[in-house]
Each structure stands twice: as structure tokens, then as C-alpha cells.
A and B are shown apart, each in its own frame.
Chain A
Amino acid sequence: MTATTLPPARAGSPRATRRRTAFGRRHALTILGFLAPAIVFVCWFTYFPMLQGVHMAFRDWNLWDLTATPWVGLANFATILSDPVFPVVAGNTVVWVVGSIVPQLVIGFLVALGLWRRFRFRALYQALVFYPWAVSGFLVGMLFRWMFNAEFGVVNDLLMKAGAIEAPLPWLAEPRLAMVAVIVANVWYGVTFFAIMILAALQSVPDEVLEAAAIDGAGTVRRLFSIVVPYIWTTLALTVLLRAIWTFNSPEIIYAMTAGGPAGRTHIVTTWMIEFTQQGSYGLASAIGLVVMVVLFVFCAFYLMAMRRVNQR
């Protein structure tokens, strides 16, 4: 394949051309052979079902009645967008993403700053705060569901001991409190990732620049905002983007803690999608998925454009 796409040799001798083609063909075979298993797997078990899923968004596809799955055009989208739950879900998704990412970024940044300079037990410390990563979102949700339990939850007990509340709060039964609880769990879960990415970026800031600034009389805070932040800006911005996409797409914690309840008031788009899947309405679920994809795509485009503009400044 690659052999045929190589530019024609302009003035080379026939021998040189032949050698180059043989070389290219051998490489093309290596490239194809080595890539084939990965491509086959990803196409077969990811892209193929995904495209079928996209197709389903335009059909009346219900698991309980597969005798007819007629083409319904944009009807599924109309059903979704006119559902009275939709504005609540959309609002919750924004609250969930922003409410999770901002504290994760701030706390992650602080933890990374704390770990920046070496100290005696740094390796041990890192190993200890690393573990949330090994836990699934679903189990994190379960742990926090138990801690936020209204009757025997440790959160209520600690808050009452600290004098912050008088009586136990029904954390997961009241919509606003439930939203707070799921976001607290997600912030706890995500700080590690930010801390690790930011720490790696911090370690790439050259010492000389910081020393020079210190000699010129810049204080700690000044050095942080005038040198460190601009230096690691790209990593910060990309980490935020990655996590925003990931948070948008991650229903596990909410699914485990409230399953979207009470009365659908903590649903985000993906948990809402799960509910339709559980009812067998795959057509409607796929329509939501497609809307999510388009929104994410537009968001990424704008985000990257804004990033480029800031970088040019």
C-alpha cells in the first residue's frame, strides 16, 4: 500500500527506485501486520456496534418488541428534547461537570504544589493518596452511599459532632443535598488525577527561571502566578478538557448513589440514558447518546479554539 503511494523517483536510477520500493513494501507489510489486530478488534467490538447504535437513534427500537423497528426520522430526538425531565437533566449535567472539575482542579493544584519539593516520605505519601485510582467509580459511589446514609451514615455523625448540624440530614433523599453528595464523592475521586498531571507539569518548570525570579525579588505568590502558571498552562487546560469529557460521560457514581433519584432529580445525561436502556427503549437512549456526542464535539472545538487564541496572545 505505502509502496504505491510513495512519490515517483524523479531522477534516480532504476536500481535505486527498485530498492526504495522494496524497502517501502516491506515496511508497509510490517505496519499493516502489526496494526491489524488492534484495528480489527476496535472496529469489530467498538465502532461497528457504535454505528449501529447511531442507526438505532432514528428507529423505534424497543427491546420488548423487536418484530418491528420502523424508521422514525427525528421523532426520538423530539421525544427526548420535549421531555419535561430534559431541562433538569441538562442543568444537572452542567452542575455535575463544573461542580466536580473546579474543586478537583483547585485541590489537585494545591496537592501538587505541596508535593513539588522533595521531602522524606514523599514516595510513601504518593503511594497512599494514589489508591482511589484503583477503585471503580461504582464502588466509590457505594462507599459514599454508605457514608451519606441518612440513619447510620458517618457523615451525619461527624457533622453533628462538629456542631455543624443539629439533626441527621436525609442526604440522598433530598434533591439538592443529593446533588451535593454525589459531587463530593466525585471530587474526592478525581483529585488524584489532577494532582498527578499537575505535579508532572510542575517538575518540567526549569529551576533556573524560578531562581532568577527569586533573585529579582519576586515573592512566592508572584512567582506562582507570573511564572509557574503560564509555564504549565497548556497541561492545565488539556487536563481540564480531558476530565470534563470524562466527567460528562461517567454515570457510575450517580448510578450507585442515587440512580438518578429522588424522582429523577439527580439525573445527568448518561444516567438518564441508562434508565431508558433499562426500560428497553434503546432508540431513545441512542438519541440521547448522539446528542451528547454532538454537544461534546462542539464543546471541544470551542475549547480548543479558545485555548489557541489564549496561547497566541
Chain B
Amino acid sequence: MTMRVARVTGLALWLVITLFPLYWVVVTSFKSPGSINRWPLEYWPSEPSTGNYTELFATSSFGTFIGNSLVVALTAGATATLIALLSAYVLARFEFRGKGAVLGAFLLTQMIPAFIALGPLYAMLSDLGLVDTKPGLALVYVAMCIPFSTVMLRGFFENMPDALEEAAMIDGCSRLGALFRVLVPVMAPGIVAAFIFNFVNCWNELFLSVVLMNSDANKTIPAALNGFISTFNIAWGPMSAAAVLTILPTMVLFALASRWIVEGLTAGSVKE
């Protein structure tokens, strides 16, 4: 009985702590400009207003930033998922020399601080004329997403019986045909989860976008937010509105795919 009480209170407490920052930023974003910096603090807006949202769009090109983020995250996320699908398939199905090295090299990219590559990456993209362009940022993001989604998709492939594509190949499918006509439809939830994971990572990435994107026409959301905090006084009203708009889409996507993301993450690490 005491265990049960402890369990319920513990879970309830953690729920409140987890949700509080979200609640607070939403409430802040809907306060009228004058009531944000005023004591006593209001835990519910006394004069609810969308003023912060109007101000955000009036004083910055936030609409453009959202559009840029969407374009970059969608193209990079989808490309990386497709490329990772191919490499994950091979790494799950074949034994070959150098397989360990490839996997090791992919895992190593997750351990090295990314900043060490920042300067050279800038120089390289500048030589290609791709600095401050959406394709340039997308290319870098594709490379950033490939290792992890390969590992994740490999776990899904390993749960699929070989018999599936063998049957298709006996029926005359090529390997690529078998992969896309037979395996991909069966694995769709896992692939969608990998795509969402990539999309969210690109949507959230900060330092590459700050260094590579400078013009208002091409900036993505994180680069723009970084610009907002560089000023001495942060305008917390519009900032909260921007935060809410940034968090909302990824939150919905993650909630939808949470089951498969969890499966993909834990498949490799929890084995009996």
C-alpha cells in the first residue's frame, strides 16, 4: 500500500516538473506585453493577448525562418533517411570485411565535438559557393543525420526475417526492388520514426546554422533565435512566442512516433 502511494505521488510529481517549463513558456507568450515584467507574477494571464505573436512577426521575418527551417529539415531529413536505409540494409544483412570499421566510424562521429569541424566546413562550403544557402546547410545536415539513422534502421532490419526479401527475389525482384517493394512497406513505422528523428535533429541544430547562415532570407529558426539573444535585453514576450512556435511541431511529431523511436533506440542496446 505504501509502495503504491509512493509510486503514484512520485509519478505525479515528475509529471508536474516535466510539464512546468512548457506551461510557463505558453503562459508567458500569451501575457499582454505590460504584464510580463510585473510583480506579483501571474500564473494565468489576467489579460490574455496574442500581442507577443503579432510583435514577433512584425519585428522579424519569423515566417521566413519557419519556411527555411521546414525546407531544410524536410529535404535533409528525407535524403538522410533514404541513404541510411540503403546502408542500414547492407549492414544488417551481409557479413563482409570492413563492416566493423564502417560501424565504428559511424559511431565515432557521435563522440567527437562537432566544433572542431566548424571552421574547415565553413571554408569548404565557401569554396563551393554554398555558404548562406539552404542546399549548403542541407548537405551538411544529411551527413550529420546518416550515422545515427543507419544504426537505428539497422536494428529494425535485424528484426525482419530474411525470408521476406528472399521470396521476393525468387519471384524475380532485384535486390533493390525487394527492398523497396517488400521490406519498406513492412518497416514503414520504423522508417517514419527515423525520418522524424532526423527532421527534429535538423530543425533543432544550432551551431552549424549560426555559422553557415547569415542573411535574413536564408536563416533557419535556431540561427534567428541565437540572433535574438545576442542583444543585451531579451524581449521575453516575443521570445516565448517564438519558442512555442518552434517547439510545437516537433513535439507533435515526436508524440506521434514515440513508440517507434523508443523501439529503435532501445533495440540495439537492450539485448538479453
Point out residues on A near B: beta carbons under 8 Å: 2, 5, 27-28, 30-31, 34-35, 37-39, 41-42, 44-50, 52-54, 56, 61, 63, 107, 110-111, 113-115, 125-140, 142-144, 146-147, 149, 151-152, 154, 157, 188, 191-192, 196-197, 200-201, 204, 220, 235, 238-239, 245, 249, 252, 255-256, 270, 273-274, 277, 282, 285-286, 289-290, 292-293, 296, 300
Give A146 Cβ to nearest chain B Cβ, in Å: 6
Interface size classification for chain B: 35 or more
Rounded to whole angstroms, the CA-CA distance of A126 and B225 in the bound complex is: 29
Scoring B residues 110 to 145 as 1 if CB is less than 8 Å from chain A, else 0, what string do you get?
111111111111011000000000000001101110
Q: Pick the most buried of B22, B84, B225, B266: most chain A CB atoms within 10 A of its CB.
A: B266
Rounded to whole angstroms, the CA-CA distance of A151 and B36 in the bound complex is: 11
- A128 in contact with B21 given A201-B270, A277-B115 (CB within 8 Å): no
- A45 in contact with B121 given A129-B15, A273-B113, A289-B113 (CB within 8 Å): yes
For A292, give its contact among B3, B17, B113 (CB under 8 Å).
Answer: B113
B18 and A188 within 8 A (CB)? yes
> In this complex, what residue of B is CB-closest to A273?
B115
Scoring B residues 226 to 243 as 1 if CB is less than 8 Å from chain A, else 0, what string do you get?
100100000010011001
Rounded to whole angstroms, the CA-CA distance of A245 and B114 in the bound complex is: 13
Give A131 Cβ to nearest chain B Cβ, in Å: 5
B37 and A152 within 8 A (CB)? yes
B243 and A125 within 8 A (CB)? no
Rounded to whole angstroms, the CA-CA distance of A49 and B106 in the bound complex is: 15
Give B176 Cβ to nearest chain A Cβ, in Å: 9
For A31, give its contact among B84, B90, B115, B119 (CB under 8 Å).
Answer: B90
> In this complex, what residue of A is CB-closest to B80?
A41
- A188 in contact with B143 given A110-B10, A289-B116 (CB within 8 Å): no
- A196 in contact with B265 given A235-B270, A256-B229 (CB within 8 Å): yes
Q: Check: B260 CB closer than 8 A to any chain A CB.
A: no
A49 and B115 within 8 A (CB)? no
Rounded to whole angstroms, the CA-CA distance of A286 and B113 in the bound complex is: 10
- Interface segment out of the listed B44-52, B55-63, B248-256: B248-256
A38 and B83 within 8 A (CB)? yes
Point out residues on B near A: beta carbons under 8 Å: 3, 7, 10-11, 14-15, 17-19, 21-22, 24-25, 28, 36-41, 83-84, 86-87, 89-91, 94, 96-97, 102, 105-106, 109-121, 123-124, 139-140, 142-144, 146-147, 150, 175, 200, 203-207, 222, 225-226, 229, 236, 239-240, 243, 246-247, 250-251, 253-255, 258, 262, 265-266, 269-270, 272
Secondary structure dominating the interface of B: helix
> In this complex, what residue of B is CB-closest to A256?
B229
Q: Pick the most buried of B38, B111, B203: most chain A CB atoms within 10 A of its CB.
A: B111
> In this complex, what residue of A is CB-closest to B111?
A245
B83 and A142 within 8 A (CB)? no
Q: Pick the most buried of A37, A139, A235, A249: most chain B CB atoms within 10 A of its CB.
A: A139
Rounded to whole angstroms, the CA-CA distance of A33 and B140 in the bound complex is: 21
For B109, give its contact among A46, A48, A128 (CB under 8 Å).
Answer: A46
With a cutoff of 8 Å between Cβ atoms, the chain A residues found around residue B206 in the complex are 136-138, 252, 255
For B36, give its contact among A111, A152, A296 (CB under 8 Å).
Answer: A152
Q: List 29 A-B contacts (CB under 8 A).
A: A35-B90, A41-B142, A44-B143, A47-B105, A48-B120, A48-B124, A110-B10, A113-B7, A114-B11, A114-B14, A128-B19, A134-B247, A136-B203, A142-B225, A142-B229, A143-B24, A146-B25, A151-B37, A157-B40, A197-B270, A201-B266, A204-B272, A249-B112, A255-B206, A270-B113, A277-B118, A286-B116, A286-B119, A290-B116
B116 and A42 within 8 A (CB)? no
Rounded to whole angstroms, the CA-CA distance of A152 and B204 in the bound complex is: 27
> In this complex, what residue of B is CB-closest to A126?
B258
Rounded to whole angstroms, the CA-CA distance of A30 and B268 in the bound complex is: 24
With a cutoff of 8 Å between Cβ atoms, the chain B residues found around residue A39 in the complex are 87, 102
B117 and A53 within 8 A (CB)? yes
A34 and B119 within 8 A (CB)? no
Give B191 Cβ to nearest chain A Cβ, in Å: 15
B24 and A38 within 8 A (CB)? no
Nearest 3 A/B pairs, CB to CB: A136-B204, A45-B143, A289-B116
> In this complex, what residue of A is CB-closest to B263?
A200
For B117, give its contact among A50, A114, A127 (CB under 8 Å).
Answer: A50
> In this complex, what residue of B is CB-closest to A66?
B123
B11 and A125 within 8 A (CB)? yes
For A37, give its contact among B7, B86, B200, B247 (CB under 8 Å).
Answer: B86
With a cutoff of 8 Å between Cβ atoms, the chain A residues found around residue B250 in the complex are 134-135
With a cutoff of 8 Å between Cβ atoms, the chain B residues found around residue A273 in the complex are 113, 115
